[in-house]
Structure 1
Amino acid sequence: MGSSVITPEDVLETLMNDGTIDAMRLKIINQLKANGELKSNAIKMMEQSKVLNTPGAEKQTKRELFDALRQELEGPVLEKASKSVWELILDQNGLGKEISETVERVFCQLSGEDPPLFPPSSNETQLEKEKKTPSSSKKRSFSDVSKEGVHIHANESADGSAISDNVTTSLSPHPRK
């Protein structure tokens, strides 16, 4: 498999076939169930429901109430749940990190590469190193550069020879289209 191109679809198919997607889905569901803020928000929405607070609501059947509540609250409740799911998926310290590492591991298995392709970078450990190393010219990690963008005004080249003061190199995390 060494020279073939591994596509995202290949990785996804592997994750689906080995049960990883189902396991991740279950973890997300369990974390949503444990989210007290999400629960209290849904309860608050129910308590403030026009359907339940309308005179005569107690005379409706359970099915009629359920259908009316669903029509009223389904959108707002699902929107809040969706935001919570994205927070879980993008969390680089929890489930999001696990997802990234799992995808990378599967990609490496399929391509015959040795993991990790992208060594973990920790801004905290980088800061600790900078504190311990007293230096006027601190190096920035690639993750710092890609997050912030860097503008370098060069006065000397690597070999020490002078170059123009108006040379500017700009790295930006958002390429122009």
Structure 2
Amino acid sequence: MGSRVVTPEEVLESLMNDGTIDAIRMKIIAQLKANEDMKKNTMMMVEQSKVLNTPGAEKKTKRELFDELRRELETSVLEKASKAVWELILDSSGLGKEITETVEKVYCRLSGQEPPPPPALLPLPTTYPQEENEKESKDKQEGEKAKEMDISEPSSRKRTFSEMNALEKAEAVENGSPDRTVASEDGTLPSTNAKT
């Protein structure tokens, strides 16, 4: 079956006729109602409105207050709502992705084309960059601790010349062999004044 040119109007008409537009509209409204930032901003604007803060506002009817609030705040509230709706529509992972996929399916159905395959999923990394950084940092800290331990433990470090000399003197005294010559700290051997 050959593909034909499909106009955007045809796609829109199909989406309207099968109820998709209404379903998307309801999802957008539900997400706007759940948007806490929108609620807080709107409440703050109402609390700071001139209509409610002018003397005599308490004497007006609810209908009068509502009409005056609408005239005062409608434009700014609708601007914020419009921005939030566009963010939802253009979101590439949530509702925006769903809208794009739905439009593509309808376009393909109307034009007689096969729908595009879903994008290839990339393999998930076994570790995430933050975990790798934490692991490298931990390995580095453990390496530094090991170096500190090597320095602080006398058995695992090299002995100085004077330490070796003192050790040899102690061994000579223990063994009872005073004949053993021990070098002085400057590395020279002491002179022996032995009488022969």
TM over 0.5: yes
Q: Tell me the alpha carbon deviations over residues 60-102 of structure 1, each in whole angstroms, 9 at most, x when there is no partner.
A: 1112111110110000100000000000000000000000000
When normalised by structure 2's length, the TM-score is 0.60
Q: Could you tell me how far apart the structure 2 residues matched to 1:127 and 1:26 are?
A: 34
Give identity over the alignment, percent.
Answer: 72
Are 2:116 and 1:112 equivalent residues in the alignment?
no
| Larger radius of gyration between Structure 1 and Structure 2 | 2
Equivalent in the alignment of 2:38: 38
Structure with the largest fraction of strand: 1
Q: Tell me the alpha carbon deviations over residues 95-129 of structure 1, each in whole angstroms, 9 at most, x when there is no partner.
A: 00000000001111111111117x5377xx4997x
* Shift, 1:4, TM fit: 2.7
Equivalent in the alignment of 2:74: 74
The AA in structure 2 aligned to 1:120 is: P
Partner SS state of residue 44, structure 2: helix
Structure with the largest fraction of helix: 2
- Structure 1: which 5+ residue stretches go unaligned? 129-177
Equivalent in the alignment of 2:53: 53
Equivalent in the alignment of 1:4: 4
Q: Tell me the alpha carbon deviations over residues 127-169 of structure 1, each in whole angstroms, 9 at most, x when there is no partner.
A: 97xxxxxxxxxxxxxxxxxxxxxxxxxxxxxxxxxxxxxxxxx
Equivalent in the alignment of 1:90: 90
When normalised by structure 1's length, the TM-score is 0.66
Q: Could you tell me how far apart the structure 1 residues matched to 2:43 and 2:61 are?
A: 21
Q: Could you tell me how far apart the structure 1 residues matched to 2:58 and 2:79 are?
A: 28
Equivalenced residues, count: 125
